[in-house]
A and B are shown apart, each in its own frame.
Chain A
């Protein structure tokens, strides 16, 4: 059974600082997603990572994937208050029914 673990679960940062969120998963998959969720809202898709070594960047966020280590990272550069949200990674199961297995989320608070 596929398991997805994120850490940290809570992250409080100062504006301007850098930090990394980690996502480990237990079995092989060919798709990993990062989502952002604001309180009371739906999920906003940030990145989809398809292959080993994939790196994608959008603004102050950069995601990478190491399929051999079954690890993805979401790196935040020079955080700003607007990045405060909960970030989820999700891994697509393979074979048979394809469903997303989510991590518990990282609640990020960026303090001015």
Chain B
């Protein structure tokens, strides 16, 4: 059973460009979480999605950031018009949902560098 997959692993964008980060959850998992880690800091929650639904986006910046988890395909975190402050590691986690095993399994992360 493959783990959570994220791609790309490293992404370099110039200021003003768009960044698209992809996350494929573990097989059988229908819940996806995105977290951001700024340099030398802990992870901070951004958004929680189920298939075709955003459950909680309280950690998402109000502008330029959006997320989706379509019926088919990976979850995507999209950052428009990137700025230097967006440089960070973005981690995706998946879980099977409410119930006994609610553990979130983390992917390898995408390291975004904005030049």
Residues on A facing B (Cβ under 8 Å): 31, 33, 40-43, 45, 48, 88, 90, 92, 96-105
Contact = CB atoms under 8 A, between A and B. Distances in A.
Interface footprint category on B: 20 to 34
Nearest to A40: B111
Contacts of A31: 102
A98 B45 contact: no
Contacts of B59: 99
A45 to B, nearest CB: 7
B43 interface: yes
A102 B108 CA distance: 17
A86 to B, nearest CB: 9
Contacts of A104: 41-42
Given A42-B106, A43-B106, A92-B102, A100 B43 contact: yes
B103 interface: yes
A99 B42 contact: no
Given A48-B103, A100-B33, 16 more contacts: A31-B102, A33-B103, A42-B91, A42-B107, A42-B108, A43-B106, A45-B105, A45-B106, A92-B102, A96-B56, A97-B48, A97-B56, A98-B102, A100-B43, A100-B93, A104-B42
Contact of A100 (B58, B98, B104): B104
A107 to B, nearest CB: 8
Contacts of B108: 41-42
Contact of B43 (A45, A98, A102): A102
Nearest to A48: B103
A42 B109 contact: yes
A40 B108 CA distance: 9
Closest 4 CB pairs of A and B: A97-B56, A102-B42, A99-B45, A43-B106
A33 to B, nearest CB: 8
